[in-house]
């Protein structure tokens, strides 16, 4: 990752990007690249449990809180945040939403896209976000040849780590050392008040992935890492 990296993270709900790709986002922005988060929904129904314990709570109020949290977390990570407000549990992508998402990809012209794993037996929306992102990426970049519509260079396509990776068919084949930005990720996680119970969980995960990363490459300085599954093959200019 370098100063020309344009990273787009597509998150089914307002907070998914923080737990699973916060380190990647901070790594890009700290090195002078640009990062944008698109939250397809605010996770107002399915991932805002703490907020619904308040008497008289409403969907509109929860959405506003989750949007504010998402914006603040993204800002701490150095990214912009766009909420598409498509609704959650269930998240549904109609033609208009697909066109909006495709247009957003064309406009931002990312060279890396991160999103959810293909499957998630515990979540009705994460797989929908994967399918929508895969399709919008294909529509934005065409078949890698000239098309009837404006196309962008095909962005690298990677999946961020789901909550229970083994059950989601997640195969971690790419690790990112997030040691230099881990405190930034921690600060962004602190903002997500509605899901505070995940902070410790994802801090532990970062330590465990760092253990794997150290064994893979021998770099003993890696203390925290994030794992990704790379879908598009890497194209090299040499070894």
Residue numbers of the site for Zn ion (CB under 5 A)? 12-13, 16
What residue has token string 């330590």?
207
CB of 210 to Zn ion, least distance (A): 24
Least distance between Zn ion and beta carbon 217 (Å)? 30
The smaller minimum CB distance to Zn ion, of residues 23 and 43, is found at 43
DSSP secondary structure code for residue 183 in this structure: H
Q: What CA–CA distance (Å, rounded) separates 209 from 88?
A: 30
Q: Is the Cβ of residue 46 or residue 180 nearer to Zn ion in the bound state? A: 46
**Least distance to Zn ion from the beta carbon of 125, Å?**
6
Nearer to Zn ion, 16 or 44 (CB): 16
- The neighbouring-strand residues paired with 35 are 7
Residue 150 makes CB contacts below 8 A (sequence gap 6+) with 106
65 sits in which H/E element: helix 59-77
CB of 192 to Zn ion, least distance (A): 11
Q: 């997640």: which residue's tokens?
A: 170
- Minimum CB distance to Zn ion, residue 115 (Å): 11
Q: Tell me whether residue 33 or residue 70 sits nearer to Zn ion (CB atom).
A: 70
- CB within 8 Å of 46: residues ≥ 6 apart: 13, 88, 89, 123, 124, 125
- Which residue in the shown chain puts its C-beta closest to Zn ion? 13
Nearer to Zn ion, 7 or 12 (CB): 12
Q: How far is CA 161 from CA 164, 205, 235, in A?
A: 8, 10, 23
What is the smallest separation between the CB atom of 178 and Zn ion, expressed in angstroms? 20
Nearer to Zn ion, 16 or 177 (CB): 16
How far is residue 136's CA from residue 103's CA, in Å, rounded to a whole number? 8
Nearest-angstrom CA–CA distance, 208 and 224: 8
Which residue bears the tokens 């083994």? 166
């Amino acid at each position: 990752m370098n100063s020309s990296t344009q990273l787009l993270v597509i998150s089914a709900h307002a907070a998914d990007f923080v737990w699973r790709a916060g380190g990647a986002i901070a790594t890009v922005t700290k090195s002078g690249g640009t990062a944008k988060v698109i939250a397809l929904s605010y996770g107002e129904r399915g991932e805002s449990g703490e907020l619904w314990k308040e008497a008289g709570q409403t969907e509109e109020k929860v959405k506003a809180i989750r949007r504010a949290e998402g914006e603040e977390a993204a800002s701490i990570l150095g990214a912009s945040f766009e909420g598409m407000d498509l609704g959650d549990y269930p998240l549904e992508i109609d033609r208009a939403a697909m066109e909006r998402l495709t247009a957003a990809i064309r406009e931002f012209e990312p060279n890396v896209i991160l999103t959810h794993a293909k499957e998630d037996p515990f979540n009705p929306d994460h797989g929908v976000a994967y399918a929508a992102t895969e399709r919008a990426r294909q529509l934005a970049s065409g078949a890698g040849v000239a098309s009837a519509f404006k196309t962008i260079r095909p962005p690298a396509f990677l999946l961020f780590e789901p909550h229970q990776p083994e059950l989601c068919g997640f195969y971690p084949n790419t690790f990112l050392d997030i040691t230099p930005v881990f405190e930034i990720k921690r600060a962004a996680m602190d903002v997500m008040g509605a899901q505070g119970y995940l902070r410790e969980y994802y801090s532990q995960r970062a330590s465990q992935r760092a253990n794997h990363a150290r064994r893979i490459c021998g770099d003993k300085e890696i203390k925290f890492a994030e794992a990704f599954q790379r879908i598009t093959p890497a194209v090299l200019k040499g070894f």
